[in-house]
């Protein structure tokens, strides 16, 4: 079974990452936190025994943390998040992969084991979803493309997960929910996860 992890990553550009966090904690903090999130995501995916494709938000970076020897590199294509994810899955399946799991780069709680579990549950389910505590999801897995999964979704809202599950039910797709994890979007999320990196970054002005 040919498997692949699809990683959606924003280019690490100061002032353009973690914008909600930047609104209250500052652009320097947002840049630092996102850099740590990218390193975490690379760390948990580099040794997984699957294909690995990084989909950049803007431009492909030749020399960055994503080694060309380990990660294939592509650019996200589409007008919204749903279109971009759908196109990423389509790219994977057109290139011979039979099981694909997509993740973002916003979750310090995500582990290699959880990603491997997602592939295991795909053996008996059409869809695997990792629910996020903010009402979205941190992982989505499938073994064939279901475009309907990405339709009529209010992206970047607390309704994403439920609307996705509703789409699964309408298509009679068997789905499995993984454990619920926290994404990092704003200061409150940082506080909830009690990140050690907060104390490491001296310029952070966040009251724990």
CATH of the domain at 155: 3.90.550.10
Number of separate domains in the chain: 1
pLDDT score of 207 more than 70: no
Residue 76 lies in a domain: yes
pLDDT digits (tens, 9 = 90+) for 149-189: 999 999 989 999 999 999 999 999 999 999 999 887 766 76
pTM greater than 0.85 (yes/no): yes
Predicted local distance difference test score (pLDDT) of residue 24: 83
The DSSP result for 76-114, as a single string, is --SSSHHHHHHHHHHHHHHTT-SEEEEE-S--TT--HHH
Question: 79-101, pLDDT tens digit by residue?
Answer: 999 999 999 999 999 999 999 99
| Position 16 in a domain | yes
106-153: pLDDT as tens digits: 999 999 999 999 999 999 999 999 999 999 999 999 999 999 999 999
Residue 206 inside a domain? The answer is: no
Residue 41 lies in a domain: yes
205 found inside a domain: no
In 3D space, the residue among 149, 192, 186 whose CA is nearest the CA of residue 33 turns out to be: 186
Asked if residue 158 is part of any domain, the answer here is: yes
Cα-based torsion angle of the residue sequence 17, 46, 56, 129 in order, rounded to the nearest 10 degrees = -80
168 within domain boundaries:
yes
Note down the domain range covering 101: 3-200
The answer as to whether 94 is a domain residue is yes
């Amino acid at each position: 079974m040919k498997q692949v992890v699809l990683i959606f990553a924003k280019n690490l550009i100061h002032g353009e990452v973690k914008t909600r966090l930047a609104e209250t904690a500052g652009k320097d903090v947002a840049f630092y936190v996102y850099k740590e999130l990218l390193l975490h995501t690379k760390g948990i995916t580099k040794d997984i025994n699957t294909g690995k494709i990084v989909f950049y938000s803007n431009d492909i970076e030749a020399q960055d943390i994503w080694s060309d020897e380990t990660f294939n590199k592509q650019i996200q294509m589409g007008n919204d998040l749903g279109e971009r994810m759908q196109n990423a899955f389509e790219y994977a399946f057109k290139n011979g992969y039979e099981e694909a799991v997509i993740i973002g780069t916003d979750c310090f709680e995500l582990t290699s084991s959880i990603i491997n579990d997602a592939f295991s549950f795909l053996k008996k389910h059409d869809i695997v979803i990792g629910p996020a505590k903010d009402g979205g999801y941190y992982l989505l897995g499938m073994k064939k493309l279901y475009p309907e999964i990405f339709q009529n979704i209010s992206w970047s809202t607390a309704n994403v997960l439920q609307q996705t599950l509703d789409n699964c039910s309408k298509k009679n797709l068997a789905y499995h929910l993984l454990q619920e994890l926290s994404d990092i979007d704003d200061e409150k999320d940082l506080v909830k996860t009690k990140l050690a990196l907060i104390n490491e970054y001296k310029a952070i002005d966040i009251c724990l």
